Amino acid sequence: MPHQGQLHTRLGRTGLHVSRLCLGTVNFGGRVEEPEAGALLDHALARGIDFIDTADMYGWRVHRGFTEEMIGRWLARSPSRRDAVVLATKVGNPVGEGPNDGGLSARHIISACEASLRRLGTEWIDLYQMHRMDPGVVWDEVWQAMETLTAQGKIRYVGSSNFSGWGLASCQESALRRGFLGLASEQCLYNLVTRQPELETVPAASAYGIGVLVWSPLHGGLLSGALHKRSRGTAVKSAQGRAESALPRHRRALEAFEDLCKDLERDPAEVGLSWVLTRPGVTSAVIGPRTPEHVDGALRALAEPLDASALARLDALFPPIGRGGPAPDAWLE
């Protein structure tokens, strides 16, 4: 289990080292324009954040694949960058209108990987993640495609995203039957207001030695001081999407949370991210910064862990499901 303050750790049971903060790029193209995106990548890499996460459909506000193209141009500006970073992308969500332009068929996995390689301007992808489960495809077909790409040197490790606990188990058991390493990581939505992964997903990942990557650790900005920002008229991300829809349900807890952050003299975003980084089984948190200052705040969250008293107060405000811990003990009396 990594210590919160250390910047790098191994990805699950693999020998690959990744930074505990992963630079997510879902905002690149539309919310963060290319010059600012390049500056963010430079800033993060200079501070040791060398894990970059993207997806083949990111950049859809311009066109699907645009974010990978932006990253490819950034990589091309310095020959040493590609060896300096751990590059992750995803496959599975639709990237076109055709019947074979999405999902996890062998045809789509292989063609999508080759398209990602072209856009990224690289010969290999370090972590190739299935963006979500595809119930219409058997695991043997998926693993046949991933084994082919691995043998060709086009990918190094395979990961999943948004899988259920039973999905991780069935996927990994299929890989083991084939004598393949299988999943190196699972990327899931997990934060103070979304603790469902503690029931099944995180325990399954831990049992199989699969590293857990957390996306939206601040629930779309909800845990970044959303109420205070709204009162000042400065809310951006926290005034839309996931954060906006969850705010009414969690308003009272959020009021107490922001008061707690004042008591701790910490920025709410740092507190929310710091909590995620303390969770058992969590390898890395995927952050979606829009400014270098956001990157620096995430680094403070890593470097300055919350003490036991603060963690207990957060548990009281955002309690785990049932009795806490994995299923079924979480709900058994």
Cβ contact 295:47 at 8 Å: yes
Q: What is the DSSP string of 286-305?
A: EE--SSHHHHHHHHHHHHSP
Q: Which residues contact 216 (CB under 8 A, 6 or more apart)?
A: 189, 191, 194, 242, 286, 288
CATH code (residue 170):
3.20.20.100
Query: Could you tell me if residue 44 is inside a domain?
Result: yes
Q: Is the pLDDT of residue 236 over 70?
A: no
Beta strands, E only, 2-151: 8-10, 17-19, 21-24, 51-53, 86-91, 125-130
Q: Is 58 a catalytic residue?
A: yes
pLDDT at 4 over 90: no
Instruction: Please name the helix (run of DSSP H) or strand (run of DSSP E) that holds residue 257, with its range, or none.
Output: helix 241-264
Q: Is there a domain that residue 125 lies in?
A: yes
**Residue 18 resides in a domain:** yes
Question: Out of 58, 157, 190, 208, which one is annotated catalytic?
Answer: 58
CA–CA distance, 62 with 68 (Å, rounded to integer): 12
315 within domain boundaries? no
**pTM (predicted TM-score):** 0.95
Q: What is the number of domains present in the chain? A: 1
Q: Which of 184-188, 226-230, 237-241, 284-288 has the lowest mean pLDDT?
A: 237-241
Give me 273's structure tokens.
Answer: 């991210």
By three-state DSSP, how is residue 230 classified?
helix
Check whether 101 has a pLDDT greater than 90.
Answer: yes
Q: Is residue 234 part of a domain?
A: no
Q: Are 216 and 237 spatial neighbours (Cβ–Cβ below 8 Å)?
A: no
Q: Answer for the pair 159, 124: CB distance below 8 angstroms, yes or no.
A: no
Q: How far is CA 84 from CA 41, 44, 46, 232, 288, in A?
A: 12, 12, 10, 40, 20
Indicate the helix (H) or strand (E) that contains 161: strand 155-161
Q: How far is residue 32's CA from residue 40's CA, in Å, rounded to a whole number?
A: 9
User: Is residue 246 scored above 60 in pLDDT?
Assistant: yes
Q: Which domain holds residue 47?
A: 8-220+276-289
Q: Is residue 265 part of a domain?
A: no
Residue 256 domain-assigned?
Answer: no
What mean pLDDT value characterizes the chain? Answer: 95
Asked if residues 105 and 143 have their Cβ atoms less than 8 Å apart, the reply is no
Instruction: Give residue 327's identity as a one-letter amino acid code.
Output: A
Residues 3 and 283: their CA atoms lie apart, in Å, by: 10
194-223, pLDDT tens digit by residue?
A: 999 999 999 999 999 999 999 999 999 999
Does residue 26 belong to any structural domain of this protein?
yes
- What share of the chain has pLDDT > 70, as a percent? 97
Contacts of 211 (CB under 8 A, 6+ apart): 10, 11, 12, 14, 18, 184, 185, 186, 205, 283, 284
